[in-house]
Chain A
């Protein structure tokens, strides 16, 4: 287990007070509307607020808010990299890093990157890689850093969307935007774009078909660039879930396009009078 030598060590055993709470663990209601008013079994994504170009130092940046989830992404590069092997001569490298702020989740996290964060960074890289035209940047590397300020569910899918916006804002050549969408399967019904409680809550209903699924999608090219699921589900449910996520991505597409166009217009110099 990695230990943090740079900061003052907290007592070895400290727990969040929620462990001592008398309330039982959050249980999902079996049917009916969801906690925030959205419906089950419908492609109901949370309204999304997006802004590009927030961080002036970074080449490109984006901020996304979906419900209570808040994420920020910065892109640096392309920068020259040491030539490590022959593949670097032909195309560039994409380095991704996804971190959670310690105060982002209900339980305090640590600053050292845990294995879950490494896993999410890897998923982020695999989802973005097919979309970026890395062969245009030989011997260079592009760095994408995502910071989760508040984790209120579907963090990975929003991180993917945010990162592709930041890449577009940085002027990196891409084949298409990458959009992410996730669902939580609970028995026979599903919830699109789940909140933190919906994602991690245990079900009160049947034990069958419990799982979470995240899909990264390129809308214009109709290609899936990232797919991850866990929890036990039947294959048909999984297939249906993937189709639902694709629909969710299509719903998100116009909003993201508009935000990007707005940011580009703002950044562009005014037309010259002639």
Chain B
């Protein structure tokens, strides 16, 4: 029955940038209206426009240069999907032969009925009956993990769940953070040694769930177990959730190693204390040290 009341204090964000190491390609930060270059030899990419032969930035972000192409990548942006990205999304609408999925991007993504696995792994043409029973499989509000198949011309994503590791998600916790903080890796599905599993969606949606037992490897995630999750697993998941929020608040790149270090650094504290500002700072500093040690 604790209520933690306090006076607000001006806090400086913990500087996690690697101050020691010098980088050769020092990134420039620009704001809209800043002139990047007047050299006509460059091609303009996303986030720029040409004004009187001068290349000017149109968003606030970092300048990226690839050979002759200059583009500005904004720091805070909606998720711009690319083919092959793993996303976690929520069903918003059930339409004829497809579902609309919310993935934190500009437009809702599309999941076609022909892009999901049928129960039992059957391979057949979808019939009219399948259309009518769409709601039985995925309803409004359900969470799914999927892969981006292609990108439409207007920027909407086409998703598919044609693999056993994708499909409807069962019991667990969803954490929403900025897509820019998710590091691109080979695999986004991790079974963490602390006792929980995590799906790091490229769109900023991170899904934490208890590690499924060996016998529960069902096809395409049709069967969602509604058995109560054990208290130990629950505590691990709550701790991970708070760690993720702490890492996101201090703008640390998220990948399995950083999450694990953060988890270990937070063990001396109680789960609900992790989100207190001073405890958060302490944990992030420790995580940062461990990451630096590992790099060198």
Contacts and interface: CB of A to CB of B under 8 A. Distances in A.
Q: Decide if A and B touch, CB cutoff 8 A.
A: yes
Contacts of B92: 86
B134 to A, nearest CB: 13
Interface in B78-98: 92-93
Contacts of A86: 92-93, 140
B94 to A, nearest CB: 9
Interface in A83-104: 86
A86 B93 CA distance: 8
Contacts of B93: 86
A86 B95 CA distance: 12
Nearest to A87: B140
A131 to B, nearest CB: 26
Interface in A166-210: none
Contacts, number: 3
B91 to A, nearest CB: 10
Interface residues of A, number: 1
Interface in B130-145: 140
A86 B92 CA distance: 9
A159 B168 CA distance: 46
Interface residue SS majority, chain A: loop
Contacts of B140: 86
A49 to B, nearest CB: 47
A86 B135 CA distance: 13
A174 B274 CA distance: 47
A1 B92 CA distance: 40
B130 to A, nearest CB: 20
Interface in A61-87: 86
A86 B140 CA distance: 8
A86 B100 CA distance: 13
B234 to A, nearest CB: 29
B172 to A, nearest CB: 22
B141 to A, nearest CB: 8
Nearest to A85: B140
A84 to B, nearest CB: 13
B259 to A, nearest CB: 34
Nearest to B92: A86
Nearest to B135: A89
Interface string B136-172: 0000100000000000000000000000000000000
A46 B243 CA distance: 61
Nearest to A90: B140
A86 B141 CA distance: 10
Nearest to A89: B140
A49 B81 CA distance: 67
Nearest to A86: B140
B142 to A, nearest CB: 12
B135 to A, nearest CB: 10
Nearest to B140: A86
A232 B91 CA distance: 47
A86 B139 CA distance: 10
A86 B99 CA distance: 13
A8 B244 CA distance: 63
A86 B91 CA distance: 11
A110 to B, nearest CB: 42
A86 B142 CA distance: 13
A149 B15 CA distance: 69
A90 to B, nearest CB: 9
A89 to B, nearest CB: 8
B193 to A, nearest CB: 40
A67 B93 CA distance: 53
Nearest to B141: A86
B74 to A, nearest CB: 31
B55 to A, nearest CB: 45
A99 B93 CA distance: 38
A91 to B, nearest CB: 13
A30 to B, nearest CB: 39
B89 to A, nearest CB: 16
A69 B140 CA distance: 47
B219 to A, nearest CB: 28
A206 B6 CA distance: 38
A173 to B, nearest CB: 23
A117 B76 CA distance: 46
Interface in A112-152: none
A132 to B, nearest CB: 23
A86 B94 CA distance: 10
B72 to A, nearest CB: 38
A166 B130 CA distance: 43
In the A-B complex, the 3 residue pairs with the closest CB atoms:
A86-B140, A86-B93, A86-B92
3 contacts: A86-B92, A86-B93, A86-B140
